[in-house]
Amino acid sequence: MAKTLSFTCTSCGAGYGKWSGRCDACGAWNTIAEEKPLAAPSSGRSLGMKRGAKVPLMDLATPEDPPERTRSRVDELDRVLGGGLVPASATLVGGDPGIGKSTLLLQAAAAFARRGLDVIYISGEEATAQVRMRAQRLGLADANVKLASDTNLRDILTTVEAENPALVVIDSIQTMWLDTVDSAPGSVAQVRAAAHELVSFAKRKGISVVLVGHVTKEGQIAGPRVVEHMVDTVLYFEGERGHQFRILRAVKNRFGPADEIGVFEMTGAGLAQVGNPSALFLSDRGEPVPGAAVFAGIEGTRPVLCEMQALVAPSPLGQPRRSVVGWDSGRLGMVLAVLEARCGIPFTGLDVYLNVAGGLRVSEPAADLAVAAALLSAREDTALPPHTVVFGEISLSSALRPVAQTENRLKEARKLGFSNAILPAGSKTGVSADMAVKELADLTAFVGDVFGAG
């Protein structure tokens, strides 16, 4: 009997019996690829549970006995991990090519090794001599990290089981291959099967595993999204090549807060952690200029201040341009529509450019008011009052809605020398004598109070 072939969407992992141009599950086009089933049945190994066995919840570890974490003493990395490395955890790290993933993980492996952990760094893309050369350049030659270069997952698991380390780094999951899967390395079937074997091995042996994943041109980790569901933590290493800093962002974390960030600076000696990212993002800020507004945002559990920059210029085109870097372009269109419909301030015939300074990506709705302030400042060619931070969400009725963690935002702003704040009415600001807080009810009041019009 001929082997049956299945088809899998490389974006969401949905399975189909035949090829189709469009995935019905996620709506992506040209993402369904042919996949062969496993050539050999599974070994039947489990995580130690017998068929039909049940464990009472009260017999499990109590909240007072959480899994013991190991801190690397690299505060930015420990923050993103949720307080340190959890035993028997699986972590997936993704990022653009050349952004510094291997450098970050080599430094992390050395940091954990210096804390007494037995660490193995396995590279499927570089020889051990090349990894050692990079370690010497980073000043990590004295770290007790074992290096290996292999892509055969069966040999890797055999070696790791014999060594029994506390942490294993796999660089990268796209280069690993299983001889039981009749497919090329890097394919959907190989990536999914290799990730499943590594995660199961980590849970069964109590070994922490860190996987490196390549990123597609859409900015997502290559392979089916089901790989992200397999692991405990998914981290993205972000940054612009024109800037010296990198951001490690947690988009999924079963052991800590999601959307937490750690900020690093790329230097000649590797990645150096940045303890105060707000000062870094505002380091090039001088005197107030038109089109600039300082936004007090929240990334995970930490407040981060950044500058929203806008440029409004007459358009020579029939359809004006709307260019956005670091923010949602759809939300920019909404803010422009509210300004025109509710405040009577048109942007017809004007090109609008919006940029988050420093390459930071902002996703929270609290940036609406800062974006509107930057747009109005650029359009009216009038700078905002000095030492002022702005934040708040704008509704379609032009009302300003309070946002979460207002006190933490203001506290961070005061620490950096800001003395004025503009925010929605009804916000829980707390008592502060050294900061002038102006609370406004809607966008029309903001326009009239700050720019004297509207």
SS3 366: helix
Contact assessment for residue 98 and residue 54, using Cβ atoms and an 8 Å cutoff: no
The Cα 207–Cα 90 span in angstroms is 9
Q: Is there a cis peptide before residue 172, judged by omega within 30 degrees of 0?
A: yes
pLDDT of residue 274: 87
- Please report the beta strands in 129-260, taking only residues with DSSP state E, as ranges in sequence order: 145-149, 167-171, 208-214, 233-238, 245-253
Q: What does the CA dihedral 129, 135, 136, 138 come to, rounded to 10 degrees? A: 150
In eight-state DSSP terms, residue 139 is T
The Cα 365–Cα 345 span in angstroms is 21
The reported pTM is 0.77
CA-CA distances (angstroms) from residue 85 to 74, 107, 161, 253, 349?
11, 14, 20, 12, 53
Task: Point out which residues pair with 170 in neighbouring strands.
Answer: 122, 211
pLDDT of residue 152: 94
- Please report the beta strands in 300-452, taking only residues with DSSP state E, as ranges in sequence order: 302-314, 322-325, 350-356, 388-390, 393-394, 400-401, 420-424, 436-440
Please list the alpha-helical segments (H only) found in 272-417: 277-281, 329-343, 368-380, 406-415
Residues of the chain with pLDDT under 50: 1-3, 38-48, 454
Please name the amino acid found at residue 62. T
Topology of domain 75-275 in CATH is: Rossmann fold (3.40.50)
Binding-site entries for ATP = 95-102
The Cα 97–Cα 92 span in angstroms is 15
pLDDT of residue 51: 58
Q: Is the dihedral of CA 93, 98, 99, 104 positive or negative?
A: positive
The Cα 445–Cα 454 span in angstroms is 8
Topology of domain 280-451 in CATH is: Ribosomal Protein S5; domain 2 (3.30.230)
Please list the alpha-helical segments (H only) found in 344-428: 368-380, 406-415
Strands in 167-171's sheet, in edge-to-edge order, are: 145-149, 119-123, 167-171, 208-214, 90-95, 233-238, 245-253, 261-267, 270-273
Please name the amino acid found at residue 66. P
From the number of C-beta atoms within 10 Å of its C-beta (0-12, 13-18, 19+), residue 9 rates as buried
Please list the alpha-helical segments (H only) found in 67-221: 75-81, 101-114, 128-137, 153-163, 188-205
Nearest to 280 by CA among 250, 247, 306, 248: 306
pLDDT in tens, 378-400: 999 999 998 999 999 999 999 99
Contact assessment for residue 167 and residue 120, using Cβ atoms and an 8 Å cutoff: yes
What lies within 8 Å, CB to CB, of 271 at 6+ separation is 100, 103, 104, 107, 246, 264, 265
Binding-site entries = 95-102
pLDDT of residue 277: 84
